[in-house]
């Protein structure tokens, strides 16, 4: 080969080596040659843009649980009860940790952890694995409205047509304040929100009371809310009865409703009158088949059997009973239910516990402060020491002769005679 041609071949080879990717084959899938990475991933990691490499976490899910947004898919816990203690929160004796990802709502409106109060009736959806981390905490007030009657001696008060019995241990919280008031401070005309358990027929056990406005400072329009079961409705007369409360409602709002259905009534007080603005079915708390269920509530006898908090209770021969037996299943009994979601709104009951207090049921004792252990001082016996016998030497005392004292002769002196 001529010398000039060899020189140009060498130059061409050097140029080809210097060009990036000149020797890589094109990837038919649109990847990056030599890396094995897809266009939407990171070479060599297998990480997809919406996930975290090596974890299998999808956007909006919780790593290691398989939880997808909007449902627990039979891997979680549904707890319906009252907040018994904070740190994180205890409901029905179980502690649920609150994380930065926990979502909160109060009567359907987004809230924060600061909206939670001792005694609030809540529905907690939590992951079953690990330490029971709460995914959502939903506060559902029983009644919000104007107090019409107060019986301080019986600790009873009335809102709309509902009678509420205050638990002996609760006081009245004051909105946007750390102040609390004794029950006797409650007055007719006060606007309050109440959490509690539905005893049926218009009676409630109140577990938390918050004064929104005192009677003498209520604005012209104040909120109204009532939960309960439809006891009667008459679209032709524009009337609706929920529990013991009868309300005038636009007949169009009543068309989709039926007697026995759990509903939420919302509206306002204006000019001293209650005005209903919406009536909606209450959301089912237990929908994910396979979820564990913990419930504290009152029993009610429906057309198809026992219910509590709007959920059907499916018992069988393996159902366990504590503090009673199957014969103690009575309407109005306060019970704790453990089980599993069999179908949306249906709980396969594993155990029923009678005569419970919702504020302390199954609540673990508070840890006692650790005291410094008493250190016992060992008893040391003093050794017996024998004193040695010391022989005292016999010392002869010298005889000391008394010195002779010379006798002193006193001279005899005559007294002179003294003549007057």
Confidence of residue 402 (pLDDT cuts 50, 70, 90): low
CA distance 206 to 373: 44
Residue 102: the pLDDT is 97
Residue 270: the pLDDT is 84
Neighbours of 17 (CB within 10 A): 8
Mean pLDDT of 382-403: 61
Exposed/middle/buried for residue 144 (C-beta within 10 Å: 0-12, 13-18, 19+): buried
Q: Identify which has the larger pLDDT, 26 or 137.
A: 137
CA distance 137 to 40: 36
Residue 99's alpha-carbon distances to 62, 103, 126, 189, in angstroms, are 12, 9, 11, 39
Q: Identify which has the larger pLDDT, 382 or 78.
A: 78
Lowest-pLDDT choice from 33-42, 220-229, 289-298, 403-412: 33-42
List, for residues 149-202, the tens digit of each pLDDT value.
999 999 999 999 999 999 888 899 999 888 999 999 999 999 999 999 999 999
Residue 285: the pLDDT is 80
- DSSP classification of residue 258: -
Q: Is 299 helix (H, G, I), strand (E, B) or coil?
A: strand
Residue 294: the pLDDT is 96
Which string of b and e fits 284-322 if b means at least 16 CB within 10 Å? Answer: ebbebeebbbbbbbbbbeeeeebbbbbbbbbbeeebebe
List, for residues 4-19, the tens digit of each pLDDT value.
545 545 444 443 434 4
Is the per-residue pLDDT at 27 higher than 60? no
* Angle made by CA atoms 319, 303, 194, in degrees to the nearest 5: 80
Q: What domains, with CATH codes, occur in the chain? A: 77-139 (2.40.50), 143-281 (2.40.50.320), 292-353 (no CATH)
Mean pLDDT of 28-37: 36
Residue 398: the pLDDT is 59
pTM over 0.85: no
Residue 370: the pLDDT is 62
CA distance 410 to 420: 30
Confidence of residue 103 (pLDDT cuts 50, 70, 90): very high
Confidence of residue 38 (pLDDT cuts 50, 70, 90): very low
Respond yes or no on whether the N-terminal peptide bond of residue 41 is cis (omega within 30° of 0): no
Residues sharing a CB contact under 8 Å with residue 77, sequence separation 6 or more, in sequence order:
94, 124, 125, 126, 127, 128, 132, 291, 292, 293, 294
Lowest-pLDDT choice from 176-190, 222-236, 303-317, 357-371: 357-371
Residue 365: the pLDDT is 82
Mean pLDDT of 50-77: 39
Average pLDDT, the chain: 79
Helices (H) and strands (E) in the chain, counts: 2, 24
Confidence of residue 23 (pLDDT cuts 50, 70, 90): very low
Residues sharing a CB contact under 8 Å with residue 129, sequence separation 6 or more, in sequence order:
64, 65, 75
Confidence of residue 366 (pLDDT cuts 50, 70, 90): confident
144: its two tokens? 């919000």
List, for residues 315-342, the tens digit of each pLDDT value.
999 999 999 999 999 999 999 999 999 9
347: its two tokens? 């709980």
């Amino acid at each position: 080969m001529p010398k000039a041609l060899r020189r140009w071949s060498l130059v061409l080879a050097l140029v080809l080596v210097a060009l990036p990717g000149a020797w890589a084959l094109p990837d038919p899938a649109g990847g990056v040659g030599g890396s094995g990475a897809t266009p939407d991933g990171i070479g060599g990691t297998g990480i997809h843009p919406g996930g975290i490499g090596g974890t299998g976490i999808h956007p909006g899910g919780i790593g290691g649980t398989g939880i997808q947004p909007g449902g627990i898919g039979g891997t979680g816990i549904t707890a319906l009860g009252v907040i018994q203690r904070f740190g994180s929160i205890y409901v029905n004796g179980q502690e649920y940790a609150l994380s930065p990802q926990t979502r909160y709502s109060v009567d359907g409106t987004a809230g924060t952890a600061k909206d939670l109060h001792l005694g609030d009736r809540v529905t907690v959806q939590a992951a079953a694995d690990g330490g029971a981390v709460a995914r959502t905490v939903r506060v559902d007030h029983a009644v919000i409205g104007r107090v019409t009657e107060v019986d301080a001696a019986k600790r009873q008060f009335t809102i709309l047509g509902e009678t509420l019995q205050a638990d002996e241990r609760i006081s009245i919280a004051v909105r946007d304040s750390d102040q609390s008031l004794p029950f006797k401070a409650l007055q007719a005309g006060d606007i309050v929100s109440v959490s509690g358990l539905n005893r049926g027929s218009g009676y409630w056990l109140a577990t938390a009371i918050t004064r929104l406005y005192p009677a003498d400072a209520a604005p012209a329009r104040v909120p109204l809310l009532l939960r309960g079961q439809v006891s009667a409705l008459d679209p032709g007369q524009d009337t609706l009865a929920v529990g013991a409360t009868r309300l005038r409602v636009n007949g169009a709002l009543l068309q989709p409703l039926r007697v026995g259905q759990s509903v939420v009534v919302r509206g306002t007080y204006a000019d001293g009158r209650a005005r209903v603005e919406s009536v909606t079915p209450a959301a089912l708390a237990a929908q994910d088949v396979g979820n564990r269920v913990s419930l504290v509530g009152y029993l009610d006898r429906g057309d198809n059997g026992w219910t509590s908090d709007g959920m059907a209770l499916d018992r069988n021969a393996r159902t366990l009973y504590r503090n009673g037996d199957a014969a103690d299943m009575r309407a109005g009994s306060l019970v704790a239910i453990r089980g599993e979601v069999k179908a949306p709104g249906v709980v396969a009951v594993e155990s029923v516990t009678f005569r419970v207090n919702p504020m302390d049921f199954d609540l673990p004792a508070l840890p006692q402060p650790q005291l410094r252990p008493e250190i016992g001082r060992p008893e040391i016996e003093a050794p017996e020491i024998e004193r040695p016998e010391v022989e005292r030497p016999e010392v002869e005392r010298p005889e000391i002769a008394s010195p002779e004292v010379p006798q002193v002769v006193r001279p005899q002196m005559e007294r002179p005679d003294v003549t007057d």
